[in-house]
Amino acid sequence: MRKDTKALLLAWGITLASALPIVLFLPDFFAYLAGRNGRLLQDPVLKALPSIDVSVPLFVGMYLVVAIAVVGLSRHPVLFLRTAQAYVLLLLLRMLTMFVFTLEPPPGLIELQDPISTLFYPGQVPFRKDLFFSGHTATIYLLFLAAPWRPGRWALLVATALVGLAVLVQHVHWTVDVLLAPPFAWLAWRISAFTVRSYTGRLSQVTVSDQG
């Protein structure tokens, strides 16, 4: 096995091992948030928007975009690894911000039927305080930062805006949750430039993309 391949496999093992305890802890973390008093914001943008259930088109479109992006990234080994590490960092940042800035759900909220995130909620039911910042918006924007193909980057940027609008129309997020999601995704992406290098060392055939 080539040295580069061994380094990538080791890095993937460390990345997945780092992600596992975070994922396992999420239900307990959300259960803790459920019993904590949060802040109720004044949001004129949200007040001006109607409450509409867009769960089905949101998640059909979103997970289709994610699947296509992941397939494309899989052709770029180190870039794919960096994206995975950035996503783990994004999870940690979301937990930190939700702990520090616990918010109450917006008025007019329509339950978001997300088949993936519901798996990590207490009792596996929709959870209303998974708020600051928007994980759905941040995830698509992270893929935009990672995308190595220009047409795909533009498509992912549009998808980020559509996802952000959809969660606002459904009133499952405050406007600030959506607006600050991209900066946090960018922060996770920048940090991952250092973590991926520390894991992989010097690779002779592949390089770390430093887009975004």
Residue 108 burial by Cβ neighbours in a 10 Å radius (0-12, 13-18, 19+): middle
33-84 tens-digit pLDDT = 988 999 999 999 999 999 999 988 888 888 899 999 999 999 988 899 999 9
Name the DSSP letter for residue 39: B
Is a pLDDT exceeding 50 seen at residue 126? yes
**Paired residues of 39 in beta bridges:** 103
Q: Pseudo-torsion of CA 81, 85, 90, 95, nearest 10°?
A: 140
pLDDT at 203: 44
Task: Look at the chain and count its residues.
Answer: 212
For 176-204, the DSSP string reads HHHHTHHHHHHHHHHHHHHHHHHHH---S
141-158 tens-digit pLDDT = 999 999 988 788 889 999
Q: Name the token pair of 34.
A: 């459920």
Query: How far is 212 from 210, CA to CA, in rounded Å?
Result: 7
Other Cβ atoms within 10 Å of 167 Cβ, number: 21
pTM reported for the whole predicted model: 0.88
Non-local (6+) Cβ contacts of 120 within 8 A are 23, 26, 27, 30
Which band of pLDDT confidence, cut at 50, 70 and 90, is reported for residue 209? very low
